[in-house]
Amino acid sequence: MQRKTKTAEPADLLSPLEAEVMAVVWRHPRLNVEDATALVNAKRARKLSERTVATILRRLDAKGYAAHEVEGRAFLYTAVVPEEQFVAWHGRRAMGELLGRYGPEVAVAGLVEGAGADKAALDMLEELLRRNRKDAGKGAT
């Protein structure tokens, strides 16, 4: 069995189709193209061909989100970047870009407004702010 590994942090966001396929890869490690196609198409009205899914899997591999190993004649794909890490990394990246472009007032206001009336999300934001303020106070002394 031959395994291809990645060490670099992924740099590109996922297209909508890539996100659909990656969602399946996150939930089903060591997935071949045929099974990936079936799982993706189970949730789609407009079905994708195996060739399309294979192309998307190769792109995910090239971007560093997935890796493959060869078993016989099949490529088996597994996520390299855990879903939680993907969300956190891209969240930090997007927030950094918003802060840089629009400043903290607009960026943070958008984040809070995005949480809307979701009490759990607002409670989480409040807890994160409390922890970060506490950590910032430690660094100043």
18 falls within a domain: yes
Q: Which of 24-28, 51-55, 69-73, 132-136 has the lowest mean pLDDT?
A: 132-136
| Same domain (yes/no): 110, 70 | no
Q: Which domain holds residue 57?
A: 14-81
- 9 part of a folded domain: no
Tokens of 57: 């899997």
Residue 70 CA: distances (Å) to CA of 3, 56, 78, 137:
7, 17, 11, 51
Q: HSE on the CB side for 106, CA within 13 Å? A: 8
d(CA 51, CA 63): 18
Are residues 88 and 100 located together in one domain of the fold?
yes
Domain C-terminal end among 57, 81, 105: 81
Cα–Cα distance measured from residue 128 to residue 76, given in angstroms and rounded to the nearest whole number? 38
**Predicted confidence (pLDDT) per residue in 103-130, tens digit:** 999 988 888 888 787 888 888 888 988 9
Number of domains within the chain: 2
Higher pLDDT, 117 or 69: 69
Write phi, then psi, for 115 (nearest 5 degrees).
-70, -25
Q: What is the per-residue DSSP string for 38-103?
A: HHHHTT-SSPPPHHHHHHHHHHHHHHTSEEEEEETTEEEEEESS-HHHHHHHHHHHHHHHHHHHHH
Query: Are 74 and 22 found together in one domain?
Result: yes
Grouping H, G, I as helix, E, B as strand and the rest as coil, residue 110 is helix
Q: What pLDDT, in 10s, does the model give residues 1-54?
A: 444 444 445 556 788 999 999 999 999 999 999 999 999 999 999 999 999 999
